[in-house]
Amino acid sequence: MTLSGALLSHYRRHPLQFLALLLILLIATALWSGVWSLSQQARASFSASDAALAQRHVVLRNDGVPVGVSDFVRLRRLGVCVTPQLVVERPAPQGRLIGIDAFSLACFAAQSAPNARAHPGVFVDIGEAEAIAGTRWPTRLTLFIDQTTSGLPSDYRIEQQPGTVATEQLADSFLLNLDALCALVLLISALLVRSVFVLGMTQREASLVLLQRHGVTAQRIRWHLVVEITLFALLGGGLGLVLGRVLARGFAAGFDQVLSGLFSVSLYTQTASVLSWLAPLLMLVIVMIWAVADRLFEHQPSRHKPAQMTAAWLTLATGVGVVLLLPSLTGQFAGIALVLAGYGWLTTLNLPLLLERLARRSASPLLSWSWSEVSAMVRQLALPLAALQFAAATVIAVHALVATFESTFYQWLDQRLQGDVYVQAPPALERQTARQRLASLASVSALHSVLRGRAQSRFGSLDVMAIESASPLLRRWEFLSTAVPGDTGVADASAGTPTDGDTVWRAVAAGQVLINEQLSRRHGLAAGNAITLTLGTTTMTATIAAVYADYGRPAGEVVIDQALWPENWPYQSSSFAVRLRSGGVESFQQQLAQAWQTSDVKVRDNEAIRTLAVRIFDQTFALTRAISTMTLLLAGVALLLMALTLFASRSWYYQLLQVWGLSATQVRGWLIRHGLLLTGAIALIALPLGVFLTWVLVARINPLAFGWSLPMATYPGFWLMIVALSLAVGLVLAVLLAPQIALSPASIRRSTEPHHPSGTGREKKAG
């Protein structure tokens, strides 16, 4: 037999280890490469969008009326280089339609033409888009122009595209979260690969020593082990890369909706490049090298327990300190990595010590053996148990984040979407006239108008929303913090303290303003501070009455009373929130069309808006939830395969119990106890780590990444489910191993019969 055949014969005797290595490599590579592929596509999409939005300027009317197709026609006839984008918002399954004018794009040939790909949708001629939209669907026209263009009539002006915000920080944070998930998958995969390899090397130690005694040098053995692990990497990693591409395509549709909803950026599908294949393979090689590092470099880990314990505590303490003190996302993820390493290290050191102490204190020899046996298995399964612990903690944290966000976001939507419908005022109708006619309808119970625009401040350009602060539809707003006049403190809604909403709105009516949480966190503003805003030629300084939650938006926003809006300052949009007394949306739309004397009535059902928003944010967390769940599945399957191999190698100890008089049923009972204890203990130990990760995600990473925070919440019911799943792994382990440890009655008799030298028994019988 050749040396390669002798080394690979190990996997013929232990096929489960072969399958474990392949499955771990395949699933881990698929997860990492799939997410990495999506993040690379997202980066390319952001780059393309940034290039398209760079120095983008638009034409606006000085009278505040939104530009229309007639404005485009007029400017083109005057020879002004403008090009339109008419966005038609159609519901599913038709989707967004974008009307463009191919001929007007020619004047941008020598310039950087506006890129409509920042808005995913179907592109048609602008005339066709206008005809399709009719009065059924809302439209939005944008006229793009070069900043240096001359000859613009005096009733128009050029501005940087309104409504665009700098999303670079938010986009980077979004992608950094994906990178962190990739790193977590790699960490867990590395632990699992190393654990399988180390276990295999322990089992092969005797055969390797035998090969060396027969003249095979240690260097040749190491070389063959490198070739062996390389073959595993190529086979499992190659299949994993293909599966990763499939996963990326499966997630692409939902991922595109996330980018569109959060950043107005479409996901550009890229062809597979050499780099897209080499990067995951390179990371896989690094994982494999670490897995076999001890064998390749003849390094033995330190067995000095006090030193290891001190190092583990220092690692954990350093990680916690970094999380608490460093106000950066990179620092937070580095701190989490240190906490995971320290916590997992302490678990693998302390759990066996605890079990050994229980063994020494047990009065029953059988119980003492039981604790010692589990302690020995914990030592040998330290790495896969740590991987399962990390995966369980991550799933707990991600579930808490998603569930908390869902409940909080739904409450926030219900608070913000007061009323039944949202109505866009027609550009041709004067705002006050539109309001009076709307209020006169018998079907209208209550309403308030909303003006939107942009203001300048020392913090840059800010969104401004002007409302009617006396409206009853605003009374259900909750605030994160308020500066209540006459109070010395600040009421904190996030901590469960009720806020005086009427007092806040009276303060707004008196000239104070509200700011969103993003603006508050980004620039250190709080309730009670002053903020200076410039709207056109009007500059005002106002006190911040309260800070409100504003989920899902990167932009800073200020809410003012409409009395503060300068009469000569144009607004970007005018709309109404309406509560209906009777009748449906279609009936109300018909009445409103008659009252406004126009067919251009854009009415949106608030329930439809809520459904759209919920769908976008469900897609936002779908990828995170799927990756964390698949990582837990990977760790669970790997632990099951590893434990099967380890338990099988220790089946002799369980068979001895039958030889010493225990029944097969009793031995199976001990096997089940050990399997449940092994996996259940790890799940319970993972709970504090999961709570800590939940707090870091909610209180540290989310505010740093997105500018808004969530209340800290725990879900014990989900913890029980994680513990139950871990116990299920232990139970399946015991059920699969039970047939392997069972001894037949004949085997037990042979084991208990006195052993006589050859021939002695027959001679005595013959004598």
User: What pLDDT, on the 0 to 100 scale, is given for residue 727?
Assistant: 86
737 within some domain: yes
The proportion of the chain whose per-residue pLDDT surpasses 90, expressed as a percent, equals 5
Q: How many other C-beta atoms can be found within 10 angstroms of the C-beta atom of residue 199? A: 21
The two tokens of residue 712 are 């800290």
**pLDDT tens digit string along 566-620?**
877 777 778 888 888 876 777 887 888 888 887 767 777 777 777 766 776 666 6
Between 488 and 575, whose confidence is greater?
575
Mean pLDDT of 175-181: 64
pLDDT band of residue 160 (cuts 50, 70, 90) is low
User: What pLDDT, on the 0 to 100 scale, is given for residue 513?
Assistant: 92
357 within some domain: yes
Helices (H), 466-605: 501-509, 517-523, 585-596
Between 56 and 522, whose confidence is greater?
522
Note whether 223 and 291 are same-domain residues.
Answer: yes
Question: With DSSP H G I counted as helix, E B as strand and the rest as coil, what are the percentages for the chain, rounded to 5?
Answer: 60, 15, 25
How high is the mean pLDDT of the chain?
75
The proportion of the chain whose per-residue pLDDT surpasses 70, expressed as a percent, equals 70
HSE (side-chain half, CA atoms, 13 Å) at 543? 16
pLDDT band of residue 536 (cuts 50, 70, 90) is confident
Between 335 and 642, whose confidence is greater?
335
pLDDT at 692 over 70: yes
Q: Which of 126, 160, 194 is the last residue of a domain?
A: 160
pLDDT band of residue 133 (cuts 50, 70, 90) is confident
683 within some domain: yes
Note whether 293 and 368 are same-domain residues.
Answer: no
| Helices and strands: H and E segment counts in the chain | 23, 17
Note whether 45 and 183 are same-domain residues.
Answer: yes
Note whether 199 and 308 are same-domain residues.
Answer: no
421 within some domain: no
**pLDDT tens digit string along 98-116?**
888 877 776 765 444 444 4
The two tokens of residue 532 are 């200076």
Note whether 295 and 309 are same-domain residues.
Answer: no
Of the ranges 160-164, 451-455, 597-601, the best mean pLDDT one = 451-455
User: What pLDDT, on the 0 to 100 scale, is given for residue 398?
Assistant: 78
Torsion of CA 458, 459, 461, 466, to 10 degrees: -90
Between 743 and 33, whose confidence is greater?
33
* Strand, coil or helix: 462: strand
User: What pLDDT, on the 0 to 100 scale, is given for residue 745?
Assistant: 54
pLDDT at 316 over 90: yes
**pLDDT tens digit string along 280-314?**
666 666 666 665 655 554 545 555 678 888 898 99
Q: Show the domain range for 490.
A: 444-580
Note whether 516 and 493 are same-domain residues.
Answer: yes
């690979």: which residue's tokens?
Answer: 8
CA distance 85 to 161: 12
Is residue 101 a contact partner of residue 125, using CB atoms and an 8 Å limit?
A: yes
* DSSP states along 482-513: E--TT-SS-EEGGGT----HHHHHHHHHTT-E
User: What pLDDT, on the 0 to 100 scale, is given for residue 165?
Assistant: 39
655 within some domain: yes
pLDDT at 161 over 90: no
Element containing residue 453 per DSSP (H, E): strand 444-457
User: What pLDDT, on the 0 to 100 scale, is given for residue 385?
Assistant: 77
The two tokens of residue 393 are 């903690």
Is residue 444 a contact partner of residue 424, using CB atoms and an 8 Å limit?
A: no
Between 747 and 646, whose confidence is greater?
646
Of the ranges 3-12, 553-562, 638-647, 753-762, the best mean pLDDT one = 553-562
Strand duo 557-561 + 421-424: pairing? unpaired
Note whether 154 and 222 are same-domain residues.
Answer: no
**pLDDT tens digit string along 3-43?**
777 777 777 877 777 777 787 778 777 777 777 777 666 66
430 within some domain: no
pLDDT at 660 over 70: yes
List b or e across 581-607, with b for residues whose CB sees 16 or more CB atoms inside 10 angstroms. eebebeebbebbbebbeeebbbbbebe
User: What pLDDT, on the 0 to 100 scale, is given for residue 499?
Assistant: 45
pLDDT band of residue 367 (cuts 50, 70, 90) is confident
CA distance 263 to 175: 12
What is this structure's pTM? 0.66
Note whether 261 and 358 are same-domain residues.
Answer: no
**pLDDT tens digit string along 227-285?**
777 787 778 777 888 887 777 777 666 666 656 655 555 555 555 555 556 656 666 66
Note whether 676 and 624 are same-domain residues.
Answer: yes
**pLDDT tens digit string along 551-560?**
766 678 899 9
HSE (side-chain half, CA atoms, 13 Å) at 122? 13
Note whether 79 and 153 are same-domain residues.
Answer: yes
Dihedral sign computed on CA atoms, order 267, 273, 275, 276: positive
Note whether 188 and 295 are same-domain residues.
Answer: yes
pLDDT at 748 over 60: no
Note whether 74 and 31 are same-domain residues.
Answer: no
Total number of domains in the chain: 4
User: What pLDDT, on the 0 to 100 scale, is given for residue 454?
Assistant: 83
**pLDDT tens digit string along 540-553?**
999 999 998 887 66
764 within some domain: no
586 within some domain: no
pLDDT at 439 over 60: yes
